[in-house]
A and B are shown apart, each in its own frame.
Chain A
Amino acid sequence: MSLGLFIEQVFNGLQLGMILFLMAVGVTLTFGVMNLINLAHGSMLMIGAFLIAFAASTVHSFGLAILLAMVMVFALSWFIEKVLVKHLYAKTHLDQVLASFGLSIVLNDGVIMIWGREPLYVNLPSWLEGPVQLTPTFSYPLYRLVITGVAILAGLVLWYLLTKTRLGMQIRAGAEKREMIGALGVNINFLFTAVFAMSAILAALGGVMLGPMISVQSGMGDPLLILSLAVVVIGGIGSLKGALYAALLVGLVDTLGRMVWPSLLGALVGNIVSNAAIYILMALVIAIRPSGLFGRQLQ
């Protein structure tokens, strides 16, 4: 394997990792703060992609389209939380799994009812297409760099929100120790709605960015949902630092692994291990160190 290929794959792994980070942050926050397991998270990514496709065909500025899509996702997630999700906080994990599973089915079919079965395509403005020459011998698609950059930016905004604002402090306290929220005298309803909406926006942002690269269709977020669950487990439930490091780790291990395993283990076994590696890691973490890299022990 050449150095050029290796470097390109590292970039690809980081890009995958940043998308996973956007998904995983939402998942870990809802676990940590609301003790809510939400299998409809992948559908939020999908909705983000559909809304950007819709917005981009209606308004002519790509930037405005992104903003429009984000606003619509915010409104939708607020609505979903108020109407549906808030009934789930007090229920068992089984109920949450099933209700959110039902919600994801509803959303996945819902987009078909509105937009049909034809995959949608988002065409990027021409200045985002094409490669950028990083070194005389190595070029990399500009758009993938943009995705990575936007995700990092989102991460920084999130970090600022969580460390420098009052709401952020309450969220972090709640994620660390849920009992503290009550003691802090915080408006719980508002806090929970805010956390849910935030996680939905992050997932949708991932969808918005993936849309132009692959096709926008029903169920596109589900494979990433399962992977993001693995990320959250490995990083530690409730830990944001864990979500970041684990996401990058998973992105790199997955991408680089696909090159390494087949040559180490042969085509057949290598292919299986390439796909299963992250889940093997996930099971190991749960079995040996359930709190993950940075998480706290759950009861």
Chain B
Amino acid sequence: MTGAHVIKQSEAKNLRLTLTFCAIFILALLVPMLEQVYYTKLIARISVFAIAAVSLDLIVGFSGRVSLGHAAFFGIGVYSAGILAQFGIAQIWLVMPIAFLVAGLIGCFIGAISLRTSGLYFIFITLAFSQMIFFIAQGLRMYGGDDGFRLPAATVWFEGVDLSQAKVLAYTMLGVLLAVTYVAHRIMSSNFGQVIIASRDNSRKVNSLGLQPYPYQLTLFTLSACMCALGGVGFANLNEYVSPASISWVQSGEFLFMVILGSAGTLLGPILGAAAFVTLEQILSAWTEYWMFYLGVILMLRVLFLKTGLLGLISKQGA
């Protein structure tokens, strides 16, 4: 009797959660229709960072490893959009897949080496790789070096409709976010996902089942890199600018902040975290010039005093 009651409760909770997110999503769809460029761009910005945060959650929340180098994949997306545009390639159905593939190749390489380590070493080696990519981007003198360059052409859907238009950008990135989150959810609910979660919690058990976690983790890491790059393409269009600033370790730190602010291991949590981060950034910086100070305080408070992030506070899920 009590068992059925508990199951009903968690089903109810899931329903509540889904409804809440549907409501938020519909709200996000309505905002661009208000024709306020500033708010529309805000939605786009949140979506872009949410994509990066969701992709990072696959590694941090579900694989149980801390990547301090995800900004590199984000940057690969940014530079793909920029360099392709320099060569006259701006169609979205070319730019996104190419960014996806490039990030996949590099992500696979980095993952192959990094996933042989764990804990502190994993943090360091992902940091090292992202620094290498940062210096490569910074050293590309023909692409502006440290200054970067203006995005020569916005990514286009078709004639007259491109990502330099705030509404188009917002809806496109919301669509990508939805797709990315859905794919991530399906993967983590499948058997593949179960292996990942099991290896996070107890890898020896997984081995005793005759499975090697490594290929699973590598596949997930590669996919995470690919998804993050899609966010980068959006970011390039949002700023109409391509620069190495998006590849710094501080940016990686901010992505981690978003994941933990929202609740790691939940996929929806990081979306909340990204929204909260961007909104806080806007509100705080309008109020004081020392807004980074308060953001840092909030981060420390979250880590020290809360056992879980925003999603956990709302629905008692995640960490």
Contacts and interface: CB of A to CB of B under 8 A. Distances in A.
A173 to B, nearest CB: 21
Interface in A257-299: 268-269, 271-272, 275-276, 279-280, 282-283, 286-287, 290, 298-299
A102 B257 CA distance: 9
A154 interface: no
Contact of A271 (B139, B293, B302): B139
Interface residues of A, number: 44
Contacts, number: 126
A99 B123 contact: no
Contact of A275 (B138, B295, B298): B138
B15 interface: no
B120 A237 contact: yes
Contacts of B195: none
Contacts of A31: 120
A102 B296 contact: yes
Tell me if B's interface is mostly helix, strand, loop or mixed. helix
Given A97-B256, A275-B139, A230 B128 contact: yes
A98 B299 contact: yes
B71 to A, nearest CB: 13
Contact of B128 (A109, A110, A283): A283
B127 interface: yes
Interface in B257-301: 257, 260, 264, 290, 292-293, 295-300
B260 A98 contact: yes
Nearest to A229: B124
A128 interface: no
Contact of B256 (A94, A106, A109, A286): A94
A193 to B, nearest CB: 18
A101 interface: yes
Given A272-B139, A279-B132, A298-B121, A105 B256 contact: no
21 contacts: A84-B300, A84-B304, A87-B304, A98-B253, A98-B257, A98-B299, A101-B296, A101-B299, A102-B257, A102-B296, A102-B299, A102-B303, A103-B296, A105-B293, A108-B292, A113-B290, A226-B127, A233-B121, A279-B131, A287-B116, A287-B125
Interface of A: 31, 37, 39, 84, 87-88, 91, 93-95, 97-99, 101-106, 108-110, 112-113, 226, 229-230, 233, 237, 268-269, 271-272, 275-276, 279-280, 282-283, 286-287, 290, 298-299
List 7 A-B pairs, minimum CB-CB distance, nearest first: A105-B296, A102-B299, A272-B139, A109-B293, A106-B296, A275-B135, A102-B300
